[in-house]
Structure 1
């Protein structure tokens, strides 16, 4: 599917009609707040499958990865998307078409989908927020219109594949803003305008989908407060907070306490959408997983997503994950999901 040029006026004029019909699209709706979500980001899976990789369960039986994850109570899958990515197997792919096709498999397995929009051509994270190359020289108004068009198109590709995402992240670890420098947190009016454009287009197509703001390193409370205070003061729109934290078990309770405090300050629910640890340190990573789940449940957090637990060594330069690449079996880290 190819995006067609659509003006902002056309997009907004069609929002009401789209909203009226969007609830008919297939896919899981957002979880009840009383249900704790156990999830996983497995965005590398299509590339790993294309490379001939596969996964075994703990008993050594070969299954589709989603089937194995379900054995650990995983009920939701997070998938990242890049705007115009390269074909690099580790740092590319993840187009909306590729991710939507995989999301349809997730839906067929009875799982919910979280879509993670990076608003870049490759990784954007707490320290990097580069716009897509095609947007690099845009003015604020041009970039805002590009945001309207891109998110509208992205949501409609998901709808074409019959998937209603339960959550959509509008940006990945956006402590410092998005599409910098235009959408930098130091220019909060423009940052808010870009994010609100994304929010409005998600809701135009999927009015019941929860739109998430995602920040990293919640141990840095002042950084979170800077973002949220500026975003709220400029009329920012969002439904739920998502946080990344990879800390050890002994700091989990304090970090989750910060997640709760900043979320309560703005009247928003929250969840941890990235957790991970060293795959070669099974005991400590499992302990951290259990500690975060326990702390999240105690503080009203709505879920936890493990970042790429099933990654194989060919794709993994981080030493992270929860699978043994030699045996293709899950490590005992995954038992943390059922023990917590």
Structure 2
């Protein structure tokens, strides 16, 4: 990173009185703040999660464009029509290059860099010290022994502080995502879906603090595997029925080929059933099948756009398999060029 790093901000404490926000019915229907223009509301978002970028760069990785010319990653992404990046953040992460980092301060610095490159930013809270996903929802180690009321207070303080760190670096996120693939709840067992009132209470605390700092930024919940419609509905019903608030339903899907139409139909059902626009916040596919990944990406973009969904994010397209041992990528490890998968955005 070439950006200068300001002195660490003073620990910020949440206010005792939550601020109310007023939005028009139309803005709420779109999951947008009151200041959003019709042009902004109509724009379909093409995005990429690039949270590994600083750690890749620190280890000497770089990216060529399709012509083989080395460029800044943001410059290459913008040439594909990508206008937004998704950045995850963990509470007390390790220094492991692939499974750590992503503290709120590191994330805020990368968000500032993305903003300076002309990108919108989605901030995604995992509410853990490392990966949380559809199969794993572990609380941060510092929260593990807390009672529900203590954990809810910790959630208030953490999200309020984190959002203020983002603000300190001059970034207003376009979106904030509370939780990552939370089908089974968050911070289990305290916030398990089997304890729906506590699950909703924890997520609502995150929603409220995000809105206090960024009142016009829409907040997403994030559910995985829309091919399993019942799992998604189980979470959304439990959250809604226990007072949970959200503006956009975020969905992960890595479906390929003939599986895409069923997933798209379920996404449309989810959008119409809950009155919230959907956004595909994770997509990807095998690095060795770039044309399949390209065609499936095109199908998702066309389909989601067709029923009024908000956008699609490719998960870590820049993440070389030699760095992270993941098979999902859109850059060739040997040539450092984007694969045909990226053409799905064109």
| CA separation of 1:69 and 1:267: change in aligned 2, threshold 3 A | same
RMSD after superposition: 1.7
User: Quick one: which of 13, 19, 23 aligns to 2:17?
Assistant: 13
Structure-2 residue corresponding to 1:235: 243
Q: Distance in 2 between matches of 1:290 and 1:100?
A: 31
CA contact (8 A) 1:11 1:148 kept: no
Q: Distance in 1 between matches of 2:11 and 2:109?
A: 20
Greater shift, 71-80 or 283-292, is seen at 283-292
1:90 aligns with 2:98: yes
Structure-2 residue corresponding to 1:211: 219
Displacement of 1:2 in angstroms is 6.2
Unmatched segments (≥5 aa) in structure 1 = 18-27
1:179 aligns with 2:183: no
CA contact (8 A) 1:114 1:169 kept: yes
| CA separation of 1:260 and 1:266: change in aligned 2, threshold 3 A | same
CA contact (8 A) 2:18 2:208 kept: no
Structure-2 residue corresponding to 1:41: 49
Following superposition of structure 1 onto structure 2, how do residues 152-163 of structure 1 map, counting pairs within 5 Å?
152-163=160-171
Q: Distance in 2 between matches of 1:313 and 1:126?
A: 22
1:299 aligns with 2:307: yes
Unmatched segments (≥5 aa) in structure 2 = 1-7, 22-34
Following superposition of structure 1 onto structure 2, how do residues 312-331 of structure 1 map, counting pairs within 5 Å?
312-331=320-339
Structure-2 residue corresponding to 1:80: 88
Q: Distance in 2 between matches of 1:178 and 1:214?
A: 11
CA contact (8 A) 1:29 1:166 kept: no
Q: Distance in 1 between matches of 2:121 and 2:201?
A: 26
Q: Distance in 2 between matches of 1:41 and 1:304?
A: 10
Q: Distance in 2 between matches of 1:227 and 1:129?
A: 14
CA contact (8 A) 1:270 1:302 kept: yes
Taking structure 1 as the reference length, what is the TM-score of the superposition?
Answer: 0.92
Displacement of 1:5 in angstroms is 7.6
SS at match of 2:56: helix
How far does the alpha carbon of each residue in 1:246-283 deviate from its partner, in whole angstroms, 9 at most, with x for none? 11121212212211212211110111010000111112
CA contact (8 A) 2:85 2:122 kept: yes
Taking structure 2 as the reference length, what is the TM-score of the superposition?
Answer: 0.91
Displacement of 1:79 in angstroms is 0.3
